[in-house]
Amino acid sequence: MKASTENKTAQRVPSLDLRRNYARIEKEIKEAIDGVLASQAFILGPDVEAFEEEAAMYLDVPHAVGCSSGSDALLLALMALDVGEGDEVITTPYSFFATASCIARLGARPVFVDIDPRTYNIDVERALERVSSRTKAFIPVHLFGQMVPLEAAIPRFRERGVALVEDAAQAFGSWRRSDGEYFRAGAAGDFGCFSFYPTKNLGCYGDGGMVTCKKSDAASRLRRLRFHGADHAYLHEEMGLNSRLDSIQAAVLRVRLRHLEEWNEERRLIADRYGMLLAEKGLLEVVRLPEVLEGNYHIFHQYTVRVRGRNELQRFLAERDIETKIYYPLPLHLQPCFKYLGYSEGDFPEAEALSKDSLALPIFPELTIDEQERVVDAIAAFYAIKRQKG
């Protein structure tokens, strides 16, 4: 309680507060859910179809197939590519666990490639170097809302028969412009995988996910795979999953998708303001801001900085009721369950360094200027005290 004496307005700054967002759309959401309740069509159904169409239109991609989570979206995409034993799939060691578990779960081998320390995203050139005769797919992750620059690599992976499966779980609405051409996160490769977990920038009110693709045969395969491998009831062409999107979640997503552009813009303003406030306080020597690659429309799913004395700073902020997060404390190649892959500490120094100094500051569309100022003031106080101590 020491903090409250230093800080008179000791109101908590949460890293995310979904209640504030709900307050903005409560009426629309209730109407949408009421519609599903009236129809009693809970699994797939008209709202799922409508959402799939609207999402495909928004992303400018021919097909979108709803499913039950982002993890399943990745699994379904790899299943549709017949990834299995003996195959390799290249991805980043710096992501949420599901990015790699989908590979291992199918008996294939995750092959990790280090990140670009500026963007925190996988280094695409290095990924190309790791392509072997066994490589079936490449999974870049558009981490924290910023797209991986894929345009130069797309034809080179294609030439070598490697499918491109984008993990766009944190990047709905993110895009990139290069040489006058636009690339949308999740619509640039062969498959795009999305998560609608409630904390994602486009979240629903439970679990949900989606896979996008360009080819209609791939879309039919995905639809079959999410429904026990059956095109028609009780006739199973192959082994699939039970991985459907609920109608209530689709109804929620239809409402939230209509507001997404506005919310993404609000996130970008908050990110800009963090940059300004941190610079104003002279903190740029000790706090490294996230870099936005030229041409990128970063939607700041997270605002992740790199800091000196990360754990100490996080504790200091927590004592002042400011909540921050660490994405991710342990890179994937060092996870106990992937020990059998034979990686060890030192294999991916950039990812390992980032896991030790990254800190995600509070960001969500409704975060106020006052709250941001309090976050930055507290960071400034931390480094002022450190300087005094020498």
Ligand X SMILES: *Cc1c(COP(=O)(O)O)cnc(C)c1O
Q: Which is nearer to ligand X, 175 or 328 (CB)?
A: 328
Give 246 or 371: the residue with its C-beta nearer to ligand X.
Answer: 246
Least Å distance, CB 229 to ligand X, is 21
Q: Which of 301, 280, 281, 261 is nearest to 290 (CA)?
A: 301
HEC assignment per residue over the chain? CHHHHHCCCCCCECCCCHHHHHHHHHHHHHHHHHHHHHHCCCECCHHHHHHHHHHHHHHCCCEEEEECCHHHHHHHHHHHCCCCCCCEEEECCCCCCHHHHHHHHCCCEEEECCECCCCCCECHHHHHHCCCCCEEEEECECHHHCCCCCCCHHHHHHHCCCEEEEECCCCCCCEEEECCEEEECCCCCCEEEEECCCCCCCCCCCCCEEEEECCHHHHHHHHHHCECCEEECCEECCCCCECCCEHHHHHHHHHHHHHHHHHHHHHHHHHHHHHHHHHHCCCCCCEECCCCCCCEECCCCCEEEEECCHHHHHHHHHHCCECCECCCCCCHHHCHHHHHHCCCCCCCHHHHHHHHHEEEECCCCCCCHHHHHHHHHHHHHHHHHHHHHC
Give the binding range for ligand X (CB under 6 A) out of 132-140, 162-170, 245-253, 263-271. 162-170
Is the CB of 71 or the CB of 358 nearer to ligand X? Answer: 71
- Interatomic CA distance for residues 150 and 170, integer angstroms: 17
Quick one: which segment of 39-47, 105-113, 167-175, 183-191 binds ligand X (CB under 6 A)?
167-175
Cβ at position 141, least distance to ligand X in Å: 5
* Nearest residue (CB) to ligand X, 7 versus 199: 199
CB of 85 to ligand X, least distance (A): 23
Binding residues among 38-77 for ligand X as defined by CB under 6 A = 69-71
Residue closer to ligand X, measured from CB, 302 or 372 = 302
Shortest distance in whole angstroms from residue 148 CB to ligand X: 12
Q: Min. distance of Cβ 23 from ligand X in angstroms?
A: 24
249 is an interface residue for ligand X by CB under 6 A: no
- The interface region with ligand X, picked from 29-37, 166-174, 227-235, 376-384 by CB under 6 A, is 166-174
Rounded to 5 degrees, φ, ψ at 175 are -150, 175
**Closest listed residue to residue 116, CA positions, set 146, 138, 71:** 146
The binding track of 97-116 with respect to ligand X, each residue x by CB under 6 A or -, is -xx-----------------
Binding flag, residue 91, ligand X (CB under 6 A): no
Q: Is 141 in the site for ligand X (CB under 6 A)?
A: yes
- Scanning 55-63, 94-102, 177-185, 352-360 for contacts with ligand X by CB under 6 A, the matching segment is 94-102
Name which position in 96, 120, 274, 316 contacts ligand X (CB under 6 A).
96
- Measured from the Cβ of residue 193, the count of other Cβ atoms closer than 10 Å reads 31
CB of 101 to ligand X, least distance (A): 9
What string marks each residue from 168 to 207 as x (binds ligand X by CB under 6 A) or -?
-xx------------------------x-x---------x
Backbone phi and psi for residue 258, each to the nearest 5 degrees, phi listed first: -65, -25
Is 52 or 371 the residue whose CB approaches ligand X more closely? Answer: 52
Candidates 95-103, 184-192, 216-224, 233-241; binding stretch for ligand X (CB under 6 A)? 95-103
Q: Which of 110, 189, 209, 240 binds ligand X (CB under 6 A)?
A: 209
Q: Least distance from C-beta 48 to ligand X, angstroms?
A: 16
| Residues near ligand X (CB under 6 A) | 69-71, 95-96, 98-99, 141, 167, 169-170, 195, 197, 207, 209
